[in-house]
Amino acid sequence: MTQQLFFEDIEVGAEGPPFVRKTDVMNWNRYAAVNDEFIYIHMDDDAGKAAGQPGAFGMGNLRWSYVFNAIRGWFGDDVEIREVGLQFRAINNKNDVLSTYLRVVEKVRESRGNLLRLEVNVINQNGERTAPGHALVALPSKEDGAAG
């Protein structure tokens, strides 16, 4: 379990630790099993080639789970993930190594909570930003007595 971070612990410009995965059919099968997404282009090299790729290629939505894992890994289990948006800009090919990128771009205290706006992305081993986006998370505050 990750140690809980509080709103006061994070500064604008802070970058979170990456969530890193080498993508392969075994990982895709796990994801497909829980999402009922057994599609030939994600499992079979010939089907991927017929779709114009070098072989089987990954599910775009799997990158969402990488971003969610990275957020929870950085901020802890008590973080409230309020919003995440991604754009798929590149294919995730078999055996790519994908790393998440998280950076705080704004801190806001408002009636809805102690909010952090994040720039997010999933970057492949070639440095290509494959899924740029944003996230909005709420953290507990030490000032609210959340620190115990």
Assigned domain for 34 exists: no
Assigned domain for 90 exists: yes
Return the HEC string of 64-126: HHHHHHHHHHHHCCCCEEEEEEECCCCCCECCCEEEEEEEEEEEEEECCEEEEEEEEEEECCC
Assigned domain for 53 exists: no
Q: For position 84, which CATH number holds? A: 3.10.129.10
Query: How many C-beta atoms surround the C-beta of residue 50 within 10 A?
Result: 11
Domain hosting 79: range is 7-23+65-143
Assigned domain for 107 exists: yes
Assigned domain for 78 exists: yes
Cβ-proximal residues to 112 (8 Å cutoff; 6+ apart), any chain: 82, 138
Q: Provide the number of structural domains found in the chain.
A: 1
pTM of the complete model: 0.89
Q: Which helix (H) or strand (E) holds 47?
A: helix 45-50
pLDDT at 2: 58
Assigned domain for 49 exists: no
Assigned domain for 148 exists: no
Assigned domain for 111 exists: yes
**Residue spans of the chain under pLDDT 70:** 1-2, 145-148
pLDDT at 122: 98
